[in-house]
Structure 1
């Protein structure tokens, strides 16, 4: 008489097995879909620095709203090489940045509305409230992990291309 309950147990096991496979598949799909999305829900976009040594590509999150610009890379514990954040201030203006609540040392690349590097602040001190000034009106700031600006060979006058920068520069 164990025939009936054994079949029910087998059906439950098959149902559970299918549900488990479906769950695993759904989780893998989410991971694959999120591969180009980083913390904060922003998609990565290509940005290229045109240096004396040639083009250097990185992937950036775009901070183009007041809320995204305010948070920036705060609270992050890691930033992959060749990755960063592009801040778009909408119009050329003097820009003042700081490192409050930012655990990573960063390089800050101040970029004009013409898409040219104005200046590079290397190795900004984590958690500092010291003001880092653009030194002139700029429209964009690119934040990279400390040391990346040197690794990329960045210097004032280098051209930067990315969809927002190119649009601002009329390219």
Structure 2
């Protein structure tokens, strides 16, 4: 009888240890899954409406824009659950030039991201509740042999991750306005 009690106690301790390990390492995401990602398109427009537009091919004259000009468009997977946000792009081998992930949080706050188990560099773009870019980080993958990188923070309700260099290529900067996919609150 005493053996059964000891075996049961050892079983409970082992189960608790596995549960703690799964929570700390993020393994629980692999076990439980993240569900299906919704998809959409994010468009970023210039905050400065007097910025010259790009000249048409074979022309040298550039006229000022009458309104905001589109700087870039990204096809995104929408990450709006705790599980999806924790996994992020960790299981993604690469992104196309105009692909990314949009993380949606319940409210605007200081959000902190790491490059967990990433194989490629990212631009991490923080967007406030008014859909204005507040911060941009150019994040390398974690050093060889490490699963985490340094921490990147910014005030945001939404965080957009794209290939590193996308913001430089498109001219996207702090203060620009972001149009989110339909249905994203």
What is the TM-score of this pair, normalised by structure 2? 0.63
1:159 maps to 177
Stretch moving more, 80-89 or 51-60: 51-60
TM-score (norm 1): 0.67
> Which structure shows the higher helix fraction?
1
Does 2:161 align with 1:143? yes
DSSP-derived class of the 1:85 partner: strand
> In 2, Cα distance between the equivalents of 1:132 and 1:167?
23
Q: Secondary structure at the match of 2:83?
A: helix
Structure 1: 4+ residue segments shifted above 3 A: none
1:97 is aligned to 2:117: no
Partner of 2:62: none
Query: How big is the shift at 1:163?
Result: 3.2
Larger radius of gyration: 1
Matched, 1:129 2:149: yes
**Residues 122-152 of structure 1 deviation map (CA, whole Å, 9 limit, x = unaligned):** 2x11124211111xx3101000011111111
Length, aligned pairs only: 125
Structure-1 residue corresponding to 2:65:
none
Aligned to 2:41: 46
Please report how far the alpha carbon of residue 75 of structure 1 lies from its aligned counterpart in structure 2 after TM superposition. Answer: 2.6
Report if the CA contact (8 A) 1:97-1:132 is conserved: yes
Counterpart-to-counterpart distance in 2, 1:93 and 1:86: 16
Give secondary structure in 2 for the equivalent of 1:67.
helix
| Secondary structure of the corresponding residue to residue 168 of structure 2 | helix
Cα deviation, 1:44-90, whole Å, max 9, x if unaligned, reads: 31110002552121101100000000000003211011010000111
Offset of 1:153 from its aligned partner?
0.8
* SS in structure 2 of the partner of residue 104 of structure 1: coil
Contact 1:76-1:104 within 8 A present in 2 as well? no
Query: For 1:77, what is the secondary structure of its paired residue?
Result: coil
Question: Structure 1: which 5+ residue stretches go unaligned?
Answer: 1-39
How many angstroms does 1:42 deviate by? 2.3
Q: 2:95 is paired with a residue of what secondary structure?
A: coil
Q: Aligned pair in 2 of structure 1 residues 161, 129: CA closer, same or farther (>3 Å)?
A: same
